[in-house]
Amino acid sequence: MVKAVRVIVALLLVLLGTAPAHAATPDRRGEKEKWTGTWAAAASGTALPLPGASIRNVVHTSVGGSTARVRLSNRLGIRPLRLGSVTLALQEHGYFPRPDAVPGTMRRVLFRGRPTVVVPAGKEIVSDPVRLQVPGDSNLLVSVYTPFDDGPATYHRIAKQTNFVAYGADRASDVHGGAYTSTVRSWYYVTGVDVRTARAAGSVVALGDSLTDGVGTTPDSNSRWPDRLADRLAALPPRHRLGVLNTGISGNRILNDRSGPSALDRFDADVLRRSGVRTVIVLEGINDVMTDAAGGDGIKAFRKAYRTIAERAHAKGIRVVGATLTPYRGHLAYTPEREALRQQINRYLREDAPFDAVVDFDAAVRDPRRPDRIRPAYDPGDHLHFNDAGMKALARAVDLKALRG
């Protein structure tokens, strides 16, 4: 009788939205469920710290699951980072972005059974499993309270997402977001969310620069090409479905560090250590071309870098899909010499690269009449990046069969 009363009370609390933030509990689902990445962001740099603040990060899932876990980063920090509390919840829908959680979904995130954790400088951590039914194609709130943060704070600068900040007391567990009176367009500390699911066969990582990061797209619309790729994959049967992890960094290079670690330097953190990775799509190199990063080595430097990526991925059993570099005539960085190098790189990618497959993004978005330019319908105005329609064209160009082999 007592047990029955407790069950009824718990159900009423959830229905009324008055349940407190629940602690994480171990997942004991069937063996068919496996950890798969559903969302990711790369640590792109550092920002001023937010001591005594709660940051409510809004992240968009690609696949759903019965249980989740959160990845938090101090990878680019120089001092230990103390996290006072972390929570996970579904975001309440609204016409405008809002910091409110769906009642009954707020969960406390634990680390080895504790609500607080210290992340050493240069490290990332993964939380305990959190029992929460996470839908695919939905927004989650990852709220982080930092009582003492001397900084610098590891973050992802260009989120193309409205995130929220509450100053003062710990507001991570607030269901109603009234205390979150400030907004930022960056993700702080959070670099990934994984789910346990039997309805996906793993994940695919999109490794890239601003073209992958979403520059040129409508904010809060989840219109980056990896988002649109996730939409296509979601329509497949579970045995062919993949989570999509976007690890693009605006300004990123493949040959050397700029706007975050180079693609080679961050390959372990942003590809190999992610959950359930089966394939990586590599769209890197245009920033190197536009800044003459290869120096006198030219195409040789790119061949070496692409070969290194292929070898490191294949050593872990991960497929590699190379992507051709897209046109950019009309941009301030364009020169005929750099265009000639882009064409050399694309010829190599199409014909000789040691990849398992190639997606021809160049062919998908170039103007047929002026192939060194983007189609006008895909150009947001800077002649380099892509608007929402252009991102959709990139996603359509991906052969879904190439992602699973």
Radius of gyration of the chain (CA): 22
- What is the value of pTM for the model shown? 0.92
pLDDT value at position 95? 84
Cα-Cα-Cα-Cα dihedral sign, residues 400, 319, 210, 77? positive
Give dist(CA 40, CA 242) in Å, integer.
Answer: 14
pLDDT value at position 3? 40
Question: Domains of the chain: which residue ranges?
Answer: 2-23+40-192, 200-403
pLDDT value at position 11? 38
How much is the average pLDDT of 99-127? 98
Q: With beta carbons less than 8 A apart as the criterion, state whether 154 and 46 touch.
A: yes
Give dist(CA 284, CA 120) in Å, integer.
Answer: 30
The more confident residue out of 404 and 19 is: 404
Please give the backbone phi and psi of residue 272, each rounded to the nearest 5 degrees, phi first. -65, -30
Angle, nearest 10°, between helix axes 225-234 and 388-396? Answer: 50
**Residue pLDDT, tens place only, 74-83:** 999 999 999 9
pLDDT value at position 271? 99
**Residue pLDDT, tens place only, 252-293:** 999 999 878 999 999 999 999 999 999 999 999 999 999 999
Cβ neighbors of 124 (< 8 A, separation 6 or more) are 71, 72, 73, 74, 75, 191, 269
Note the Cα 153 to chain centre separation in Å. 18
Q: With beta carbons less than 8 A apart as the criterion, state whether 33 and 182 touch.
A: no
How much is the average pLDDT of 227-254? 97
pLDDT-derived band at 392 (thresholds 50, 70, 90) equals very high
Among residues of the chain, what percentage have pLDDT more than 70?
Answer: 92
How much is the average pLDDT of 20-37? 63
Give dist(CA 314, CA 349) in Å, integer.
Answer: 17
**Bridge partners (DSSP) listed for residue 357:** 321
Tell the burial category of 114 from Cβ atoms under 10 Å away from its Cβ (0-12, 13-18, 19+): exposed
Q: Is residue 54 scored above 80 in pLDDT?
A: yes
Q: What is the CB-side half-sphere exposure of residue 377 using CA atoms within 13 A?
A: 8
pLDDT value at position 15? 37
SS3 132: strand
Token pair 């969310």 is at which residue? 193
Residues comprising the chain, all counted: 405
Fold of 200-403: Rossmann fold (3.40.50)
Q: Is residue 14 scored above 50 in pLDDT?
A: no
Cβ neighbors of 376 (< 8 A, separation 6 or more) are 367
